[in-house]
Chain A
Amino acid sequence: MRNSYLVCYDISDDKRLRRVFQIMRGWGDHLQLSVFECQLTRAELAELKGELGEVIHHEQDQVLFVDLGPAEGRGDRVITAIGRPYTSFDAPCYVV
């Protein structure tokens, strides 16, 4: 079971910021500057927190995890946008 998370970060050092961005790219969709949307199982969330925990400065940086509930059947109402559109990927496979 996966939950949707909004992950937002505030990193006070550019080098660490880039490393956090690199890690986040492996786990979710980049929505905006310093904001990712991730669909994670409990184990994946633990793994992500572990990876970030190794990189960030625990006194100067902050990463927020906002739990949006179960990813499946979440519907489109949880995240809405004005301005540029927000789209979520919902297909059984990737085809390129």
Chain B
Amino acid sequence: MGAPLPAESEREPAAGRTLPDYLPARMVNEYVYCPRLFFYEWVEGIFVESADTIEGKQQHRRVDREGAPMAAPGEAEGEWKTRSVTLSSERHRLIARIDLIEGEGRRVTPVDYKHGRPRETAAGLEAWPSDRTQLAVQALILRENGYECDEGIVFYQETRQRVRVAMTPELVEETLKAAREAWETARRGVMPPPLAGSPKCPGCSLHPVCLPDETNWLRGVGRDGDERQLSLFGEPVPRKPAMSEGGVRRLVSARTELRPAYLDTQGLRVGRSGDVLVVKDEDKVVQELRIHDLCQLNLMGNIQVTTQAVQALCEEGVPVCYFSRGGWFYGVTTGLVTKNVFLRQMQFRLAAEPWFCLRLGRQLVAGKIRNQRTMILRNHVEPDARLLAEMKRMAEVAVRAKSLEELLGLEGNAARLYFEAFGGLIKTGEGTDVPKVFRLDFHGRNRRPPRDAVNALLSLGYSLLAKDLTVTCYAVGFDPMMGFYHQPRFGRPALALDLMEPFRPLVVDSAVIQAINTRMITEKDFVQAGPAVVLKPEGRKAFYRAYEQRMDTLVTHPLFEYRVSYRRLLEIQARLLARYMEGEIGEYPVFVTR
């Protein structure tokens, strides 16, 4: 067993980190608004568009058309104006793109266009602190380039008001201090903590990445900002800490707005026309899919996609997932969306630490066993009390396991118990007997090939879940191939498999039970081929719907107590793992339902 993760303050700045030459004025603005937002945008290169940023950009398109070249200091006579000027300061290593400069001889006033509205105070209208800083950076740069500047203007487009900002020595001092801190933050490469209960968070487009309230809650910081001690080494996260009255605001929307698409008719061709994917069978258009509506495109078997379509999907950040006809998951094509190299560095470093692998493995296996137990408890006709007690005990033992081998053994034993009882979860209506194909061989898991219908469905389901977590790993910035509990093996997305353990019973097993019990899938959807039982095309299509229906189901998060879909939850959990690996929170809070 090694030492716990070092605290943020003790970590060495990551080696080999090179910094850009200049710090942009806009980033000083972000730093003053929220140091963590600055870190995400400047250091990690993560940017998420929101309605405000898009509207702002459109308004800027007009401002950004370059005007006449700027007059050198002292050259211009009388009043002059110029638009969209980029200047830098060598002394402070700052750079700014100035929307509008109004000059009178040597004296200039920078004007910055902002999308929102000014701050209303008792003393009248004011520029927001972060906007004031941005203007001060511009003023400093202008001064260093030989102009005189003692005032700036923010133009707020929503209310169409100009707000003047005086360049007082205090403002200049504050601004230089912020710029110095921003450089230092980037140099150290340690992410600043999230704001505590700030009203800025709901309006920030990065909150689904940042998870400010969730992270604070797990760090033990309440809404009022006072910090509590991190839970001690090895101690599980308390279920209901004292400061939960403030609660975790639900900043993340409950469901993903986008839908996955599954193409499972052999020989389909996918082309692109504008922002629409056109799916053809021979020459007949069978479906049009809007790229804006998709979160992933799944190709099951022999389906052709044009390069134009793949390019459009990459650009829009929609991954393309490839499967064999039988549901074997081959791989993913993604765009160049994640630049988060530092998280990967941390992932690789920790994957080489046996104590970390064991510590995370314990949580994952214990969570999986507890979730399997819950499945039986909820769905079995008459759950066996001894089995439930045994599984509970196994989950407790898993938390204290001494090695990965011991964990693997426990996981296997629990799975055997669980799958022996699994037949009892299948019920197809009153009076009717369970169809033969659903019970014949079901004594436990079997695969390659599956010998009964339930195993065939489970295998396909796990393949889909592995796909979803691989995609999630890419989205968060992880390398899906480098795992902790699952040791790396050729061609296996080990981290995706790690993350999926607790979700297997909740998502896949539950979708299978649901599909059979509600007769979404019936015995007619299977054919026997030698020793194997194979799903017919219509059955496969029905199962994609059953699986996605499950993914779309809202569940209550046991820690944060808000409701989110399983699809959203996968991302939240992967991001929390990143928080844990980066040392922000003391334990990985594995997802367990009650």
Contacts and interface: CB of A to CB of B under 8 A. Distances in A.
A93 to B, nearest CB: 4
Nearest to B549: A92
A49 B152 CA distance: 31
B54 A95 contact: no
B330 interface: no
Contacts of B260: 93-94
B292 interface: yes
Interface in B254-270: 255, 257, 259-265, 268
Contacts of A49: 58
Contacts of B549: 92
Contact of B292 (A26, A42, A53, A96): A26
Contact of A26 (B261, B265, B291): B291
Contact of B263 (A25, A42, A96): A96
A91 interface: yes
Nearest to B205: A43
Contacts of A92: 259, 545, 548-549, 551-552
Contacts of A23: 274-275
A45 B548 contact: no
A80 to B, nearest CB: 24
Contact of A91 (B263, B268, B545): B545
A46 B55 CA distance: 6
B327 to A, nearest CB: 14
A86 B322 CA distance: 35
Contacts of B262: 93-96
What band does the interface of chain B fall in when counting residues whose beta carbon is under 8 Å from A?
35 or more
Interface string B127-141: 000000000000000
A23 B290 CA distance: 11
A27 interface: yes
Contacts of A78: none
- Which residue, A44, A53, A92, has most C-beta atoms of chain B within 10 A? A92
Contacts of A95: 261-262, 264, 541, 544-545
20 contacts: A2-B257, A23-B275, A25-B273, A25-B275, A25-B290, A26-B274, A26-B291, A27-B290, A41-B257, A42-B50, A46-B54, A46-B58, A47-B49, A49-B58, A92-B551, A93-B548, A94-B260, A94-B287, A95-B261, A96-B279
Interface in A45-72: 45-47, 49-50, 53, 72
A25 B545 contact: no
Contacts of A94: 259-262, 287, 289, 294
B551 A96 contact: no
Nearest to B58: A50
B287 A43 contact: no
Interface string A1-17: 11000000000000000
Contacts of B51: 41-43, 45-46
B205 to A, nearest CB: 8
Nearest to A48: B292
